[in-house]
Amino acid sequence: MSAPPTAPTVTPPARHAGVSALSLAVLAGPMSFGIAGPALILGEVAGGLGVSTGEATWLVTVFGWGIAVGTPLMSGLVGHRGMRGTVTISALLALIGAVLALVAPSLPILLLAAAAQALGAAGLTAIAMQLADSPRRMGVATASLAVVGSVSPLAGSLVSDLLSWRVVLALPVVAVLAVPAVLRQAVRSAPPPGRFDAIGVVVLTGLVTALVAVPHQPVAAGLCAVVAATALGIHLRARPAGFVPAALVRAPRFLGAAGLAFALAVGNFGLIYALPVRLSELTTWSSAQIGVAMVWPLLFGGALSWSVVAASARMRPRLMITALAATGVAAALAAAFTSWVPGLLVAQAAASIAAASGQGVLAVRATSAAPEEHRPAAIGLFTLCYLLGTAFGPAVVALTAG
């Protein structure tokens, strides 16, 4: 829903009362299909396109880039163009990307489809998080991402066997089913005064693009990231209330929450792609059996995260943050140093709990550190950091495995 014309950036709780928790879950959750759905079918994608598995992994990287760029972009558009316009644009991008995924004749076209679908899915997820005006409702949105992510590898394998790997790549479009419910509640609003910060959008997009490419081209992408970060710093001085508010960049609590969310996402999504390879080395399981084995730790972590996020409002923030960080570190160490199959599955469960719970808990903390007028930007930039982790994790695993 958009804000009243006289106060376009105010987000009182009553404003979202008509958007159900189910709609938030359907709006946010399907994005995870694009992140984790291809985990067990990259070989089939590679074979269908006549490319190597490493080249097919670019689909995951591009999807990660799209959701990372799209989240702050669409969050910014909510404040500039209103909820209805942003929802409509996001839904159209998701639909276009899904159609292209079903018919793309080559990898470059399929990468374009992944980018379009990711931008749309990112917009719908960002909107769901903006509509989540309490820890409990934020828990619904983030838990839906985790729960869908938990079944995505198995669902991707089964859908590929029954239909096609192309249908798997189109699954994020399911989020569009919740769009009518959101549009019924969204009211029209006049754009806020002031020019849209197009330069800020371009600079941030360049920075995100360079960061996503770092695992593939460390030197060149790293230099580009430094240049883009410098340009962003200069732009912040010239326009401190632009697309990237300087007040957020200078807020230690926001930066700490976003940084920890990034680290937890790297560990969780890296393990989602590393675990199938590791289990295939240690067992004689088929892809479907590996997918079934991975469901319970991921589903357990995703389901438990809703309770953790809801309970976080009654706990001391420092204790909760310490517990999340410790759980993430323990999961990474266990995955790195054990060859015991049950231990690997427990590590995946721990990583899932830490990342899914952390996204909700830390999102509340990050946005509470922002002035009310910067709340949409805070949600978008925080989620950008988390989603950068979803792009980094699989890319790092692919490089180390190769």
Query: Which domains, from first to last, does the chain contain?
Result: 13-197+239-396 (1.20.1250.20), 198-238 (no CATH)
With beta carbons less than 8 A apart as the criterion, state whether 328 and 351 touch.
Answer: yes
Alpha carbon distances (Å) from 257 to 58, 203, 260, 369: 28, 23, 5, 10
How far is it, in rounded angstroms, from Cα 124 to Cα 126? 5
For the ranges 213-217, 256-260, 296-300, 393-397, which has the lowest average pLDDT? Answer: 393-397
Q: Compute the chain's Rg from CA coordinates.
A: 20
As a whole number, the mean pLDDT across the chain is 81
The pLDDT confidence band at residue 308, using thresholds 50, 70 and 90, is confident
Helix (H, G, I), strand (E, B) or coil at 328: helix
85-99, 245-259, 281-295: which has the highest mean pLDDT? Answer: 85-99
Query: pLDDT tens across 131-153, in order?
Result: 776 667 777 777 787 778 778 88
Contact 72, 385 (CB under 8 A): no
Averaged pLDDT for residues 342-355 = 89
- Cβ 174 vs Cβ 61: under 8 Å: no
Least confident of 12-26, 157-171, 201-215, 272-286: 12-26
Query: What distances in angstroms separate CA 259 from CA 246, 338, 366, 384, one per listed residue?
Result: 17, 27, 10, 11
Tell me how far apart the 2 most distant CA atoms of the chain are, in Å.
Answer: 64
SS3 label, residue 8:
coil
* Percent of the residues in the chain that have a pLDDT greater than 70, as a whole number: 89
Annotate 138-164 with DSSP letters as a single string: HHHHHHHHHHHHHHHHHHHHHHHHHT-
Task: Please answer whether residues 275 and 393 qualify as being in contact, where contact means their C-beta atoms are separated by less than 8 angstroms.
Answer: no
At residue 18 the predicted structure's pLDDT band, cuts being 50, 70 and 90, is: low
- Best-predicted range by mean pLDDT (7-21, 42-56, 107-121): 107-121
**If 0-12 CB within 10 Å is exposed, 13-18 middle and 19+ buried, where does residue 188 land?**
exposed
Predicted local distance difference test score (pLDDT) of residue 114: 92
Element housing 347 (H / E): helix 341-368
Q: Which of 340, 183, 198 is nearest to 275 (CA)?
A: 340
Mean pLDDT is lowest, of 9-18, 219-228, 293-302, 390-399, for 9-18
Pairwise pLDDT comparison (36 vs 142), residue with the higher score: 36
Asked whether residue 86 carries a pLDDT value surpassing 90, the answer given is no
* Distance set, CA 288 to CA 39, 44, 326, 349, 398 (Å): 12, 13, 32, 19, 21
